Amino acid sequence: MSIKSDSRHLYLQVIDKIKHDIETGIYNANEKLPSEFELSKNLGVSRATLREALRLLEEDNVVTRKHGVGTFVNPKPIVSSGIEQLTSVTYMIEQAGKKPGSQYYSTEIIEPTEEERQKFKPYDLAKLVKIERIRTADGKPVVFCIDKLPQGLIPNEAAHREDSLFKIIEEHASNRISYAITYIEPVGYHEKIFNILNCDFDQSLLLLKQMHYTEDDEPVLYSLNYFRSDVFSFHVLRKRI
C-alpha cells in the first residue's frame, strides 16, 4: 500500500493515493479511514506529511476530520454545476438525473431593510414578499430557498406552486430574469435549516446570495439558497485575459 516515490512532494503523492483508494472503493463514503499511525506506517511517510495531506483533502471536501474521533470519507456530491450560466435549482437537479420537487414552507409580507431597499432600487419598495421553500431531489430535501420580491409582482397564491420561481415571474410579471450577481459563502450550523435538510451537526452548507435582474437591469428577485455541500458542488470556468 506504500506510495511510490517520484519527484513531487510526498504529501501530494499521499493525496493522490488516498483519492485513488476512495475512487476504487477501498474506502467508501462515510467510512472512517485508518488511524494516522496506521496510515502513515502503511504509506511509508511521516505523520507530519500525512497530516498535511489530510488537511488539504479536508479543504477540498474529500474528507472530514473529527477531533478525537477520526477522519471520514465525504460522500461525493450528486450535483456538480458551473455557475457561469444562470439556471434554476430545478434545472440543476434535472441535469444530475434526479427528479426535482418543491415543498412549500411559508410566505409572509415583510418590511424591507435599508439594505434591501438599496438592492431593489429604483423600485420604491413598500413591502417585500418573503417565500420559503424546500427543494428536493428524488424526494430528499437538498436546498432551502428564501426568495424575496416586491409585493404585487406575482399573485400570492403562485408562491405555493412547485414550479421554478423564474417561470412564475415570467408568467405573471412578464419579466424575464436575464442575469444575477452572486456571492457564495460557507455556512456552519444553522438550527432551523439543518433540521429541515436533515444535516449532520458538523456538516456545512453552501449559501448562494443572488440578486436577479431583467434584461432592462431591473432588480426583481433576491434569493438566499442554502445547498447541502454533500449534494452540491459548484465550479467556475476562468479564462486568462
Q: Are strands 232-235 and 128-137 parallel, antiparallel or unpaired?
A: unpaired
Determine the residue type at 175: N
pLDDT confidence of residue 151: 92
Which is nearest to 18 in space by CA: 6, 7, 51? 51
Question: Structural domain boundaries of the chain?
Answer: 10-73, 79-235
Q: Do 32 and 72 meet the contact criterion of CB atoms below 8 Å apart?
A: yes
Q: Give pLDDT tens digits for 155-175.
A: 888 878 877 888 889 888 888
> Minimum mean pLDDT among 10-24, 162-176, 219-233: which range?
162-176
Q: What percent of the chain is predicted at pLDDT more than 90?
A: 51
Which is nearest to 225 in space by CA: 148, 170, 158, 149? 148
- State in words which class domain 79-235 has: alpha beta
107: which DSSP letter?
E
Q: Give pLDDT tens digits for 67-121.
A: 888 999 887 766 767 777 788 888 888 888 889 998 999 999 999 999 999 999 9
Residue 1 clears pLDDT 60, i.e. is over it:
no
Count of H helices and E strands in the chain? Answer: 7, 10
Q: Do 144 and 193 meet the contact criterion of CB atoms below 8 Å apart?
A: yes
Q: Which CATH number is associated with domain 10-73? A: 1.10.10.10
Q: Sorting pLDDT into bands at 50, 70 and 90, what band is 222?
A: very high
Determine the residue type at 74: N
Q: What is the mean pLDDT of residues 3-21?
A: 83
pLDDT confidence of residue 128: 95
Q: Are strands 219-228 and 205-214 parallel, antiparallel or unpaired?
A: antiparallel
Q: Where are the beta strands (DSSP E) in 69-139?
A: 70-73, 79-82, 100-110, 128-137
Tell me whether domains 10-73 and 79-235 share a fold: no
Beta bridge partners of 5: none
pLDDT confidence of residue 166: 87
Q: Give pLDDT tens digits for 183-196.
A: 999 888 889 999 99
Please provide the DSSP assignment of 144-188 as one string. EEEEEEETTSS-GGGGG--S-HHHHHHHHH---EEEEEEEEEEE-
Q: What is the mean pLDDT of residues 57-65?
A: 86
pLDDT confidence of residue 8: 76
